[in-house]
Structure 1
Amino acid sequence: MKTVVNSPGEFDNIFQSTNGIVLALFTGSKDPNTGESWCPDCVSADPFLNEAINNHPETQFLYCEVGPRESWRNQPGHPYRTNINTRIKCVPTLIRYQDRREIARLQEGQICNKDILNEFFS
């Protein structure tokens, strides 16, 4: 099940009410004109993530855009960078939580490795 999260505050609300395994993807926001992220690594990871999500429809999946490039790049105070439950350093980042505790994390090119990604979802 894929849930689009529209803000760090919404992430916190959803995160606090979840139990069990939850996967959260933090990615560069999509340009409304092109439909693609401003982040080239995110664009590269999209096909791998979409396939993994389709192969694991029972998994709770949170899709979180970090915002436009200028609100993310070189912004140490960005809420997803400072949030105790996320602490994102780069996008894309995929985090696996169990009962609201982080148990694994993939970043950037790791997400494009099909074997690592499938193991992460399992």
Structure 2
Amino acid sequence: MPLKTMDATVSDFERVFEKFKLENSGSNLKFLLFLADKDPSTSRSWCPDCNVAEPVIYEKLESSQSDVALLRAYVGDRTTWRNRGHPLRVDPRFKLSGVPTLIRWENETITGRLEDHEAHVSRKIDSLLARD
């Protein structure tokens, strides 16, 4: 099934997140992927874990038999992300501590998540996709 994606930054996250939920209300699976920003000159993230995890996550989501919607939320540059008061770190819905973080979102809540140290592990992504 095709993977439907939307992108958000820290500054437009709330608006895009609401649009994502509204436009994908009929999708079987909804995921949020929190990532570090990419360097425009290299198209690579400043976060090595993001560079490893992204291709694995996309491959798994794209190969799903279900309709999958993905919101990619970029958390900013390294300095912005390191701030303990970062809006997505202190948001009670997500409580982010690292990037990448892959979250399965259902019924206005998190029903599964993979943190930075495990977001690249294929079998864990498979498990997150299969969770009922």
| Cross-structure match for 2:5 | 2
Superposition map of 1:1-122 within 5 A: 1-6=4-9, 7-14=12-19, 17=22, 19=25, 21-56=29-64, 58-73=67-82, 75-122=83-130
**What is the CA–CA distance in structure 1 between the aligned matches of 2:110 and 2:45, rounded to whole Å?**
25
**What is the CA–CA distance in structure 1 between the aligned matches of 2:59 and 2:78, rounded to whole Å?**
26
Gaps of 5+ in 1: none
**Where does structure 1 differ by over 2 angstroms across 4 or more consecutive aligned residues?**
6-21
Give the TM-score taking structure 2 as reference length: 0.81
Give the TM-score taking structure 1 as reference length: 0.87
Contact 1:26 1:63 in 2 (8 A): yes
Contact 2:17 2:71 in 1 (8 A): no
Gaps of 5+ in 2: none
Deviation (angstroms), 1:14: 3.3
Residue correspondences, number = 121
**What is the CA–CA distance in structure 2 between the aligned matches of 1:21 and 1:82, rounded to whole Å?**
25
Higher mean C-alpha deviation, range 4-13 or range 30-39: 4-13
**Greater percentage in helix:** 1
Deviation (angstroms), 1:60: 1.3
